[in-house]
């Protein structure tokens, strides 16, 4: 798949997942396919499966894993980092979380992956922690909806009190 086809597919998946409630945020794992440990962690330490299970309906996670992309991975990373607006801020390997609003990429958060780690399980645990952190941030934003609910409940309670007062007045007038 060429870069333009990838972008079309990426855009289509983002729109579809948002419309169907399959993602509240998106993420991309940038890594150098020549960096054997991260690639091995994703493939051999059940990394892809563990991350998929962790992201659930909150995060749609993208990453390159096709050996055909190996020769073009470095250029792809630079081009796609630029498209996400993090070129010059993020370095490979990293995980970038972002929101998609129509055609716009917003609120990118960059998490550097410790490339000095020599343990595949620790690398995947690090990526899982980044997913957990992003989901906690999403849920913290969502906690504001509880305040909205509380405000609506207070309004309903106020209406109920006023209605009760009206009933008492009507009862007293009878």
Domain ranges of the chain: 3-142, 144-174
- Which 3 state secondary structure label does DSSP give 29? strand
At the top level of CATH, the class of 3-142 is alpha beta
Q: What is the pLDDT of residue 3?
A: 72
Q: What is the pLDDT of residue 23?
A: 92
Q: How far apart are CA 54 and CA 59, in angstroms?
A: 9
Q: What is the Cα Rg of the chain in Å?
A: 23
Q: What is the pLDDT of residue 69?
A: 55
Which two tokens mark 63?
């990453």
DSSP 22: S
Which two tokens mark 25?
């945020």
Q: What is the pLDDT of residue 42?
A: 85
Strand partners, 30: 94
Q: What would the pLDDT profile of 108-140 be if each residue is shown by its tens digit?
A: 999 999 888 888 899 999 999 999 999 999 998
Name the burial class of residue 79, with classes exposed (0-12), middle (13-18) and buried (19+) by CB atoms within 10 angstroms of its CB: middle
Q: How far apart are CA 59 and CA 52, in angstroms?
A: 9
Q: What is the pLDDT of residue 108?
A: 93
Q: What would the pLDDT profile of 19-73 be if each residue is shown by its tens digit?
A: 898 999 999 998 877 667 888 888 877 888 999 999 988 999 988 765 545 566 7
Apex CA 1: angle with CA 21 and CA 102, to 5°?
A: 35
β-pairing verdict for 25-30 and 94-101:
antiparallel
Q: How far is CA 140 from CA 22, 27, 99, 144, in A?
A: 19, 18, 15, 7
User: 151 versus 48: which is more confidently predicted?
Assistant: 48
8 Å CB contact between 25 and 99: yes
Rounded to two decimals, what is the model's pTM? 0.74
8 Å CB contact between 64 and 28: no
């Amino acid at each position: 798949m060429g870069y333009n086809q990838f972008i079309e597919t990426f855009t289509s998946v983002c729109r579809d997942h948002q419309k169907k409630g399959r993602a509240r945020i998106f993420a991309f794992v940038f890594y150098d396919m020549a960096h054997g440990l991260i690639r091995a962690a994703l493939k051999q330490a059940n990394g892809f499966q563990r991350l998929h299970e962790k992201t659930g309906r909150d995060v749609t996670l993208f990453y390159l894993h096709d050996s055909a992309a190996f020769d073009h991975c470095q250029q792809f990373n630079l081009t796609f980092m630029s498209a996400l607006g993090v070129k010059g801020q993020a370095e490979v390997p990293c995980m970038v979380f972002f929101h998609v609003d129509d055609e716009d990429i917003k609120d990118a958060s960059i998490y550097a992956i410790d490339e000095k780690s020599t343990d595949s399980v620790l690398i995947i645990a690090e990526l899982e922690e980044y997913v957990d952190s992003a989901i906690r941030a999403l849920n913290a934003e969502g906690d504001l909806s509880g305040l909205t609910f509380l405000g609506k409940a207070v309004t309903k309670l106020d209406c109920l009190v006023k209605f009760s007062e009206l009933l008492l007045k009507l009862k007293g007038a009878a």
